[in-house]
Structure 1
Amino acid sequence: MIEKFATVHWEGAGKAGKGAISTQTAALKAQPYGFATRFENDTQGTNPEELLAAAHAACFSMAFAFAAEKAGFPTASVDTKALVRLAPEGGGFKIDRIALTLDASVPNIDEAKFQEIAQGAKQNCPLSKALASVPEITLTATLRK
């Protein structure tokens, strides 16, 4: 089994509060976040949805590369974007959609097989499974020739 961790330190209440996110590998080290980085497009920090998008795109990309290789089609390059939407719900918010966009170069594969592998990777990547409560997870996959 593999376990990874991240930590958060938060000070203050709600809208006025500030936090710092750190990861085990120090890829993020006291990265700031707060109300403005989450809801007001302040780019001087990060936010949970951006981190979730990065994690999902990374997980899906690896799942696709491994699945393509297992099917006999090693990937040349894989680029994935994940767009996470935070929508109002009642008095709070919820993540109601994640849109994955894959652009990949896979030599010697036909379009049908490419789409089949991409959809399988979407279903089977660990982050997709963990995010199963998100009502809509879409995938647009483009085979780059």
Structure 2
Amino acid sequence: MATTRVAHTNWEGNLIEGKGVVTFDSSGIGDYPVSWPARSEQANGKTSPEELIAAAHSSCFSMALSHGLAGAGTPSTRLETKAEVTFQPGTGITGIHLTVVGE
């Protein structure tokens, strides 16, 4: 059965000086501020599309690896996956690096 997850962003202003709020509708975990400086400079307590991609990638990879290991007869007891997403202003995402530690 297919599932649909929903999030939305409200943005005010232009790219450089504007600001927005990402809302996670499906989970109800809250509202998170976003801005261009949070993407291209320091996060300063704000999230970014790249951080959200890192969260999605690390959690999806952990679930898939856990399933694959269990299917091969070597289930893990714990997996920690760190995703680092590199963003270059003017170019976009230039890399995603995963580091996995498991037991």
- Asked if Structure 1 and Structure 2 have the same fold, meaning a TM-score greater than 0.5 normalized by the shorter chain, the answer is yes
Cα-Cα RMSD: 1.1
Counterpart position of 2:73: 72
2:40–2:87 CA contact under 8 A, matched in 1:
no
* 1:8 matches 2:6: no
Counterpart position of 2:102: 104
Counterpart position of 2:33: 32
Deviation at 1:43, TM superposition (A): 2.4
Distance 2:45 2:57 in 1: 22
List gaps (5 residues or longer) in structure 2. Answer: none
What TM-score does the superposition give when structure 2 sets the normalisation length? 0.91
Distance 2:13 2:61 in 1: 35
Which contiguous aligned blocks of 4+ residues in structure 1 show a shift greater than 4 angstroms?
none
What TM-score does the superposition give when structure 1 sets the normalisation length? 0.66
Q: Residue by residue, what CA displacement relative to the aligned partner does 1:15-53 show, whole Å, maximum 9, x if unpaired?
A: 1100000112122x2200102211121322100001100
Task: Name the count of aligned residue pairs.
Answer: 101
% identical equivalent positions: 37
Q: Residue by residue, what CA displacement relative to the aligned partner does 1:91-144 show, whole Å, maximum 9, x if unpaired?
A: x22212111101111xxxxxxxxxxxxxxxxxxxxxxxxxxxxxxxxxxxxxxx
Q: Greater share of helix residues, 1 or 2?
A: 1
Pairs within 5 Å for 1:37-48: 37-48=38-49
